[in-house]
Amino acid sequence: MWALLEALEAVRDFHIAGGAVLWTIGFVTVLMWTLVFERIFYFRFAYPKSMRTAMRAWHERQDRHSWYAQHIRRMLVARVRAEAEFSLPVLRTLVALCPLFGLLGTVTGMIEVFDVMNAFGTANTRSMASGISRATLPTMAGMGAAIYGLFATRLLCRHAAKQVEMLSERLVLSTPPGGH
């Protein structure tokens, strides 16, 4: 229990040292990872059901070779694709926002350094160090969140594309249970 409290205190101190922008980066990062885990759970638990539903709808059709049937197949695949890629554009946007918020933190921290230098010259190094901390911590946090978020997002996008492609191939190549 004490270790958890110490960890939370360290996170709080980190956020205080980084300024208000760091809280925004933290919020965006938590939202981004919430969406990442939502997609992981979707592919683990809900996607198989969506795939089975599409396969069942295709197998229940008598006609699978006409122009109309091929459009039905495309519609089934498109529906599953839309479900599989549901939050991926939002996830990509959040990943792109992380370094931008880091840059915003850099700018606001450097403004603080320049304000201190304007008021006190270079003699007040303690206040200048605080501003430099407010400039570098958000940059580091934004870039770190973006790198890991980009990695996770890329894996999820590849997995979604692979799963949809496999479904599309299954609908073309498959025969219904019972062998019509």
Q: Which of the four pLDDT bands, split at 50, 70 and 90, describes residue 53? A: very high
What local confidence, expressed as pLDDT, does residue 117 receive? 83
Instruction: Judge whether 4 lies within some domain.
Output: no
User: What predicted TM-score, i.e. pTM, was given to this entire model?
Assistant: 0.83
Check residue 172 and give left, alpha or beta (phi > 0: left; psi -120 to 50: alpha): alpha
Instruction: Judge whether 48 lies within some domain.
Output: yes
| Spatial CB neighbours of 115, under 8 Å, sequence gap ≥ 6 | 131
Instruction: Judge whether 1 lies within some domain.
Output: no
DSSP string, 26-87: HHHHHHHHHHHHHHHHIIIIIHHHHHHHHHHHHHT-S--SSHHHHHHHHHHHHHHHHHHTTT
Range of the domain at 65: 10-173
Instruction: Judge whether 131 lies within some domain.
Output: yes
What local confidence, expressed as pLDDT, does residue 179 receive? 52
Mean pLDDT of the chain: 90
Q: Is a pLDDT exceeding 70 seen at residue 30? A: yes
Instruction: Judge whether 14 lies within some domain.
Output: yes
How far is the C-alpha of 13 from the C-alpha of 91, rounded, in Å?
28
